[in-house]
């Protein structure tokens, strides 16, 4: 048995260990640097497995399109930790956030790569535990309360997952491999498989924060450190989305496929709820959390599409980059202006104070809306286009309408940054420190990547880009 398929996860766990060891020595800078290097190595290893043929394992799968999501999870983890390096290496809790972020990325990658419900269960639980820890590291009472509430709900989700696993195991006679479930679903459409599938999807939906399992998201994202929220919102989402796709692929292709309509219902509710609730938010992080519910909804639109559901992977990766950029932006905003209260209204005058951050904010918000020339456009375009040819035109229409509504709050942030005047006079001119420059640079780089990913397919056409992503 080759070790290669497990190398990416090993690198991810090693990153966490290295961070903790350096932290014990009191060298937080090395903790960050080591973690970034190992996570990047893990991403590279995952990307490499994508090019090696003959690796298709059973419990942990890799190769081809299987490797896209794991590579993206680890790369996003590395990006976020590198972008927030300054605050992570100065803060007392920084190294623990780094370690948990690395574990989040690694377990999310494993969630995506799992080919066995047992492995999936372990990975999802690991991911959840890291999440509770990341929120609790926010340090405030509110953060600890949010983590506690999330943990309580999480135990419900765990129970749901266990029941689902039990139902499936009873039906297959012991095996929990996806291939066994697929064989079962193909043989005869029956209630136990459908119930088992729905219970697993519900547990994943909890991790994703889809309606009605979303309640933990706003508090968690708002109270966690921005770096932690960035990891949860990007790397933490890509894995479960990929797992949902693989599960749906396993049970479709037979009469049992009718059950995937449940996913369409979750998508619909998430889009409607997320968008409408986000309209009312004043806090930028909270708005991003609610809009994240809607974004997960858009992604789930593509899950019931069978062979076309790989569009979800593209959406997830592009959304992951944008979401990571958005929370690193929050971090940058906190660092440039210590007096910022975290509200959207407080962004007024940003275009004058920091043109680079304001421009990046505009790019990120436009990408989240799905405006052409940004990465977000291609993700939505693919998912919605496939949905409308794959029998879910009504859902695609709802999703597009939701995107239109979403500009109501994404655009509000752009308006605040560029048009609104500052309520109170001049902000004191503070000297720009190294840390600000680093995090601003990270945001600008991510925005440039977003624009580049939005523009390049115009020149090359969509085909080569897709072939590169999904082999």
330 CB burial (10 A radius; 0-12, 13-18, 19+): buried
Nearer to other proteins, 41 or 194 (CB): 194
Nearer to other proteins, 22 or 273 (CB): 273
Token pair 């069978």 is found at 306
* Cα gap 131→223, rounded to integer Å: 12
DSSP codes of every residue in 323-381 = HHHHHHHHHHHHHH-TT--SBSGGGTTHHHH-HHHHHHHHHHHHHHHT-TTSHHHHHHH
- State whether residue 464 is helix, strand or coil: helix
For the chain, the farthest-separated pair of C-alpha atoms sits apart, in whole angstroms, at 71
Nearer to other proteins, 261 or 393 (CB): 261
- Spatial contact of 56 and 177, defined as CB atoms under 8 Å apart: no
Minimum distance between the CB of residue 184 and other proteins, rounded to whole angstroms?
Answer: 13
Interaction site with other proteins (CB under 8 A) = 148-149, 152-153, 156-157, 160, 189-191, 193-195, 197-199, 201-202, 206, 211-213, 215-216, 218-219, 255-256, 258-259, 261-262, 265-266, 273, 275-280, 405, 408
Nearer to other proteins, 132 or 206 (CB): 206
Q: Quick one: DSSP state of residue 114?
A: B
Nearer to other proteins, 105 or 299 (CB): 299
- State whether residue 283 is helix, strand or coil: strand
* Cα gap 433→57, rounded to integer Å: 49
Minimum distance between the CB of residue 373 and other proteins, rounded to whole angstroms?
Answer: 24
Nearer to other proteins, 294 or 364 (CB): 294
User: How many other CB atoms are found less than 10 A from the CB of residue 335?
Assistant: 20
Nearer to other proteins, 102 or 277 (CB): 277
Count of residues making up the chain: 471
Minimum distance between the CB of residue 368 and other proteins, rounded to whole angstroms?
Answer: 17
Minimum distance between the CB of residue 194 and other proteins, rounded to whole angstroms?
Answer: 4
Minimum distance between the CB of residue 283 and other proteins, rounded to whole angstroms?
Answer: 12
Give the rounded distance of the alpha carbon of 39 from its chain centre. 16
- Residue 170 to residues 108, 184, 197, 327, Cα–Cα distance (Å): 27, 12, 13, 43
Minimum distance between the CB of residue 58 and other proteins, rounded to whole angstroms?
Answer: 26
Nearer to other proteins, 45 or 208 (CB): 208
- Which value, in Å, is the radius of gyration of the alpha carbons in the chain? 21
Minimum distance between the CB of residue 270 and other proteins, rounded to whole angstroms?
Answer: 11
* Cα gap 8→46, rounded to integer Å: 5
Give the rounded distance of the alpha carbon of 192 from its chain centre. 30
Residue 175's nearest CA partner among 153, 196, 147, 148 is 196
Nearer to other proteins, 153 or 445 (CB): 153
* Cα gap 190→169, rounded to integer Å: 14
Minimum distance between the CB of residue 301 and other proteins, rounded to whole angstroms?
Answer: 17
Nearer to other proteins, 101 or 275 (CB): 275
Backbone angles phi, psi at 90, to 5 degrees: -100, -30
- Spatial contact of 42 and 7, defined as CB atoms under 8 Å apart: yes
DSSP codes of every residue in 213-244 = S-THHHHHHHHS-HHHHHHHHTHHHHHHHHHH
Minimum distance between the CB of residue 104 and other proteins, rounded to whole angstroms?
Answer: 22
Minimum distance between the CB of residue 165 and other proteins, rounded to whole angstroms?
Answer: 14
Nearer to other proteins, 41 or 167 (CB): 167
Minimum distance between the CB of residue 160 and other proteins, rounded to whole angstroms?
Answer: 5
- Residue 196 to residues 115, 122, 183, 201, 244, Cα–Cα distance (Å): 16, 17, 15, 9, 13
């Amino acid at each position: 048995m080759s070790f290669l398929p497990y190398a990416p996860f090993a690198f991810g766990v090693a990153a966490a260990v290295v961070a903790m060891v350096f932290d014990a020595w009191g060298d937080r800078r090395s903790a960050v640097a080591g973690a970034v290097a190992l996570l990047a190595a893990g991403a590279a290893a995952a990307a490499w497995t994508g090019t090696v043929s003959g690796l298709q394992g059973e419990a942990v799968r890799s190769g081809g399109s299987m490797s896209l999501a794991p590579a993206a999870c680890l790369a996003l983890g590395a990006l976020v930790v590198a972008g927030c390096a300054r605050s992570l290496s100065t803060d007392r809790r920084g190294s623990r956030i780094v370690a948990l972020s690395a574990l989040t990325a690694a377990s999310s990658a494993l969630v995506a790569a799992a080919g066995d419900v047992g492995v999936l269960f372990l990975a999802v639980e690991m991911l959840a535990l890291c999440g509770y820890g990341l929120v609790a590291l926010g340090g405030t009472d509110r953060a600890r309360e949010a983590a506690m509430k999330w943990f309580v709900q999480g135990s419900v989700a765990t129970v749901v997952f266990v029941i689902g696993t039990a139902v499936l195991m009873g039906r297959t006679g012991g095996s929990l491999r996806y291939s066994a479930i697929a064989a079962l679903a193909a043989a005869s459409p029956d209630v136990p498989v459908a119930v088992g599938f729905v219970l697993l999807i519900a547990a994943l939906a909890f991790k994703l924060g889809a309606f009605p399992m979303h309640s933990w998201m706003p508090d968690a994202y708002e109270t966690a450190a921005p770096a932690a929220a960035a990891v949860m919102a990007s790397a933490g989402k890509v894995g479960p989305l990929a797992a949902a796709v693989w599960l749906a692929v396993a049970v479709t292709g037979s009469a049992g496929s009718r059950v995937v309509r449940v996913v369409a219902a979750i998508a619909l509710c998430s889009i409607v709820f997320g968008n409408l609730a986000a309209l009312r938010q004043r806090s930028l992080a909270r708005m991003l959390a609610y809009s994240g519910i809607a974004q997960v909804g858009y992604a789930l639109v593509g899950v019931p599409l069978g062979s076309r559901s790989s569009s979800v992977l593209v959406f997830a990766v592009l959304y992951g980059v944008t979401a990571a950029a958005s929370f690193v932006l929050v971090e940058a905003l906190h660092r440039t202006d210590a007096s910022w209260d975290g509200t959207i209204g407080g962004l007024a005058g940003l275009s004058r104070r920091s043109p680079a951050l304001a421009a990046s904010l505009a790019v990120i918000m436009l990408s989240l809306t799905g405006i052409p020339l940004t990465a977000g456009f291609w993700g939505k375009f693919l998912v919605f286009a496939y949905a409308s040819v794959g029998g879910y035109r009504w859902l695609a229409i709802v999703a597009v309408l939701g995107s239109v509504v979403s500009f109501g709050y994404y655009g509000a942030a752009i308006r605040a940054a560029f048009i609104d005047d500052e309520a109170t006079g001049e902000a004191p001119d503070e000297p720009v420190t190294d840390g600000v420059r680093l995090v601003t640079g990270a945001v600008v780089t991510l925005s440039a990547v977003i624009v580049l990913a939005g523009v390049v397919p115009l020149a090359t056409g969509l085909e080569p880009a897709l072939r590169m992503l999904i082999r």
